[in-house]
Every structure is written in C-alpha cells, then in structure tokens.
Amino acid sequence: MDHGKQAAELFLQGYNCAQAVVIAFCDVTGMEPEFAARLSSSFGGGIGRMREVCGAVSGMAMVLGLLYGYESPEDIQSKKEHYVRIQEISGKFRDCYGSVVCKQLLKNASTDPTPEARTQEYYNVRPCAGFVYLAGKLLDEYILAHPLEKAHG
C-alpha cells in the first residue's frame, strides 16, 4: 500500500495532518481508524493550531512509537535508539521542506483555534497534503528498511 497517497487522500477528506498520517497506517499498527483519529486529533495544525511541530511529523512520531517505541523508562538504550529514529526521520522531512515547524511551513498561519472551512480554495493554497504524503512515504521507507519482526528485538 502507498501510505503517502492514502494519507494525502485522508487529508483531502477533511482529516487533520496528524490524523491523516496515523489513520493511513492503521493496517500496519492494528489500530481502529476511529481510535487513531481520536488519538491524533490534538496534533493537527502544529498541536491544536498553535503552529508548533507539524502534525504530519507528529503523526510519523506516533506511528514509529507504536511500531518501534520503547516501554520501560529504565531502558535508556532503547529510549536513545528511539529518539535517534525520530530525529532521523524528522530530519528527512526537514531536508525536503526546510522545517518541521508548522508556522514556518505555512508562513505564520493563524493560531485561531477555529478550523478553516475545507473548501477547494483552502486545498489550493494549503501545502499540507504534500506534507502528509511525504510523511507516509518516509514511514513506508523506514518500515521497509526495518522489518517489524525485528522492531522489538
């Protein structure tokens, strides 16, 4: 499955950027789409439209945490390895778009908590479908290179 394409389609259906990425990977994570939508709902617009870390990047981190994350707070090595993983994939996103920060990516978009209407005009000027597409593509590449049966040892 092309999860990047799926994520872009979900964004164009009205899901926020984080939801689009996390829901696109339900076939891999085993989450129900409704649960994935709720779990990731707070991360759209750079966390609640505060325009901080891009929701597509947050979505990547959530998927990687579910698939490869650590469980024990005492497991310092696994924690370090996971943070390296997150920094690596976020760095690839940054390399493509110049930032992982929503307000920089969207050129200081509004932080008003009221979501904008998802009209054709909105989609014509909003680059987020490309952001979620890249997030899905980067996750697909990472998962292909790091088979899940090896994810937890």
Res. 133: pLDDT tops 70: yes
Q: What integer best gives the mean pLDDT of the chain?
A: 95
- Residue (of 52, 58, 57, 53) closest to 39 by Cα position: 58
Q: Which two tokens stand for residue 110?
A: 């509004």
Res. 149: pLDDT tops 80: no
Res. 93: pLDDT tops 90: yes
Res. 150: pLDDT tops 80: no
Interatomic CA distance for residues 116 and 141, integer angstroms: 32
